[in-house]
Amino acid sequence: MLMSMTGFGKAVALSNNRKITVELKSLNSKQLDLNVRIPYIFREHELDVRSFVGKALERGKADAVISVETLPGAPQPPVSNINIEVLAQYKKKFEEASAALGIPEPADWYSVLLRFPDATHAENIDTADTDDAKALMEAVAKATEALMAHRRAEGEELEKFFTARIKAIAELLASVEPYERERVVKIRQRLEDGLAKIPAVEYDKGRLEQELIFYIEKLDVNEEKQRLGKHLDYFMETMASSVPGQGKKLGFIAQEMGREINTLGSKSNHAEMQAIVVRMKDMLEQIKEQVLNVM
């Protein structure tokens, strides 16, 4: 069963005083690239969040956004206090500098003074307690499961997509055979007609037969057809595997399929066969584009 790297999950958990919301979003990527936006009060739990989400996702470019809302009636976090004495000292120094240097004083004193160190302070720093931490990880777990469920659903759609195109390539491959037999006759006829147009030429018919056989063998596509057929079967077997994380393997198989199709096209030497090869390439390109989304 396939699993996509694209997914979204959202969950909410409540502690005694807070409502914690976790949103997870993932897209395709060769490796795991996890970005976590977490409130300051949960900074000490960021590694736990990263470890849990990263272990579940394995691959993909993912964003985890965590927000916290204080519940009605809960104790409010402390508001930062303004150090009036410190601001007064800064203001006095500015006024002295303005008089000494002959430059105007700031038009907006607050925006200037509040940028300086120790302009504000909080007597108590808001922190998360054990109940908050438990609720955080509960929300992370639920959001992760929701995202994985989304990935599994996307994986089922990808499996249907790949199955249809693999079947189409197999049908196109089977349609090559009539043109292949016809091609041998046409090649032989074309060579003989070319020789007939040369006046007073003498040639060894036995040698001609040998050269024809050699030439036709060089254009033989039976090996390419057999290998491509095996690659198609292997692709389907890999999709059906119960082992997760088959995306890279499917990508390698698709590359091998591309090599056989390209060789088939270069050897075809027949308009109808080349048209079939073009359609095969179209199906394969669609597979290659979507296989990048498989975990």
Residues 14 and 135 in one domain: yes
Residues 160 and 275 in one domain: yes
Write out pLDDT tens, residues 230-270.
Answer: 999 999 999 998 887 889 999 999 999 999 999 988 887 77
CB atoms within 10 A of CB 166: 20
DSSP category for residue 37: E
Can you read off the two tokens belonging to residue 196?
């007939």
SS3 assignment, position 115? coil
| pLDDT reading at 169 higher than 60 | yes
In a domain, 62, yes or no: yes
Domain count, the chain: 3
In a domain, 64, yes or no: yes
Give the lowest-confidence range in 30-39, 49-58, 73-82, 233-242: 73-82
DSSP one-letter string for 40-68 = GGGGGGHHHHHHHHHHHH-SEEEEEEEEE
Give the lowest-confidence range in 39-43, 83-87, 116-120, 203-207: 203-207
Domain interval for residue 52: 7-76+129-150
Average pLDDT over the chain, rounded to whole?
86
CB atoms within 10 A of CB 230: 14
Write out pLDDT tens, residues 111-138.
Answer: 888 778 777 765 555 677 889 999 999 9
Under a CB-based contact definition with an 8 Å cutoff, are residues 277 and 169 in contact?
Answer: no
Domain CATH number, residue 143: 3.30.230
In a domain, 268, yes or no: yes
| pLDDT reading at 290 higher than 90 | yes
Average pLDDT estimate for 15-28: 92
Measured between alpha carbons, how far is 43 from 132 in angstroms, rounded to an integer? 12
Residue 280 CA: distances (Å) to CA of 40, 171, 252, 259, 273: 54, 10, 17, 12, 11
Q: Return the top range by mean pLDDT from 135-144, 194-203, 214-223.
A: 135-144
pLDDT: which is higher, 207 or 16: 16
pLDDT of residue 142: 97
| pLDDT reading at 110 higher than 60 | yes
In a domain, 2, yes or no: no
Measured between alpha carbons, how far is 241 from 250 in angstroms, rounded to an integer? 11
Q: Return the top range by mean pLDDT from 15-19, 96-100, 181-185, 226-230.
A: 226-230
| Cross-strand partners of 26 | 7, 62
Residues 40 and 110 in one domain: no
Give the lowest-confidence range in 75-89, 132-146, 274-288: 75-89
Share of the chain above pLDDT 70, in %: 85
In a domain, 1, yes or no: no
Residues 136 and 260 in one domain: no
Residues 25 and 96 in one domain: no
SS3 assignment, position 168? helix
